[in-house]
Every structure is written in structure tokens, then in C-alpha cells.
Amino acid sequence: KAGVTQTPRYLIKTRGQQVTLSCSPISGHRSVSWYQQTPGQGLQFLFEYFSETQRNKGNFPGRFSGRQFSNSRSEMNVSTLELGDSALYLCASSVTGGEHTEAFFGQGTRLTVV
Amino acid sequence: KQEVTQIPAALSVPEGENLVLNCSFTDSAIYNLQWFRQDPGKGLTSLLLIQSSQREQTSGRLNASLDKSSGRSTLYIAASQPGDSATYLCAVKGDRGSTLGRLYFGRGTQLTVWP
């Protein structure tokens, strides 16, 4: 059974540009969540999608957005990149995101903003 | 707001020792608690999931306990090996309102097991 797949694995972007990251969840999983990991802040929740609907959103500026497609694949977009957006972006999938479901993470996308 | 704390922040031990990693959280309104392992530059690997109604879970040399009322969990690693070297993270999943479904992470315990 394939795990959570994130693409690309590495990205280098310039300040002011925008970027799109992709996440393919485990087959059958309908919940996809995104997290940002930095040395200073640790792991912080960005948003969660279930059946193409955003169910929850963390405390990030509107430059961070996401969406989920009918096949449960998800993308997140960051516009007008800042140096502080450099981080490891992790995607997690679970069956429903609810009480009894375990979260499985991908390998992450390492974004560097220069 | 849910806050998760892990102690110690770092641990360095010789091979073969039994270890205890600690995790505490401030809000007991949780669905479950999950322990993860993270190798440098990699994603998170799920180790154990404990539901809020459970007290303990075991997988191989790993045993995790949960005391929801006191907001504590421990991860016990038996007979540690160099391959156990990694950062161990605990996360709790909220069960209501703005916390629903989201994971709150501690900062992790960086474990080094030397031969």
C-alpha cells in the first residue's frame, strides 16, 4: 500500500514568488492536513480538508491557501513568498480525521526562499 | 489553547538502556494521542496511537501510556539500539471547536543511542 506522497521534495524560490505544493494521500483516505515545520516554531497546523471542504484552519496569513480535489489529492499554495516561509511542509492523511483515525505523514517538501 | 511539552529535549544513552520519554498537554479534551519518530530531514513515522479511552498501547519494544485526566503520556523504549536514534514527537488531536481534528505537537525529544 503506497504511503503519502508529496511533490516536489525540494524547492528553491525567490521572495515575492508563489509556490504550489502537492500531496497525494493514502488510497481511501479522505482527510488531508498540512503542517509547517521550522526550527523556531516546531510543527504548526495550517489547514485540514475533508471531502473537498476545508474543515479547520490554523493561524496563518491569507497568503497560505489550499484545496482538495475529488480524488482527495490536495494542494497548498503560498503567494508572495517571504524569507520566513522557508520550512519543511508536511502533509498528513487519515481515513476521516476523526476520533479513531491515525495520521500518516509524507516525506515533506523542503521549501527554501532566497 | 492546547500546549504540548516534551521532556527531556535531548537524551544520549548507551545501547541497551531502557528509556522513558515524557509528554504533557494542557487541555484534556482530546480524541487521541500519537507518538511519532522523525529522522533528520525526513517526514514523521507513526509509532503508536492511543485513543482517549485507552490507557496503554504496545508495539514491539515500544510501550506508550496515557493518563488523560492528568494530561500526561510516556513512551517507554526497551533495550535501546543505535537505530532508535531520532527525534520523538508526541501529538494530541483536539476533539472540539477550533481544535477539532488538528494535531498539536510537542517540540520533541532528540534521542541518541551510541554503541
Q: What is the pLDDT of residues A48-61, one digit of tens each?
A: 999 999 989 999 99
Cβ atoms B6, B106 nearer than 8 A? yes
B34 to chain A, any CB pair closer than 8 A? The answer is yes
| pLDDT for residue A97 is more than 70 | no
What grid cell was written down for A39?
Answer: 526550527
Measured at the CA of A75, the angle between CA A43 and CA A52, to 5 degrees, comes to 105
Smallest CA–CA separation between B84 and chain A, in Å? Answer: 18
Residues of B in contact with A45 (CB under 8 A): 102-104
| Chain A, nearest residue to B102 by Cα | A45
Half-sphere exposure of A30 (CA within 13 A, CB side): 8
B22-47 pLDDT tens trace: 999 999 988 899 999 999 989 999 99
Mean pLDDT of A17-30: 96
Residues belonging to chain A: 114
How far apart, in whole angstroms, are the C-alpha atoms of residue B18 and residue A38?
30
Interface test with A, best of B49, B59, B102, B107 (most A CBs within 10 A): B102
Asked whether the beta carbons of residue B46 and residue A56 sit closer than 8 angstroms, the reply is no
pLDDT at B103: 93
pLDDT at B94: 82
| pLDDT for residue B100 is more than 80 | no
| pLDDT for residue B97 is more than 80 | no
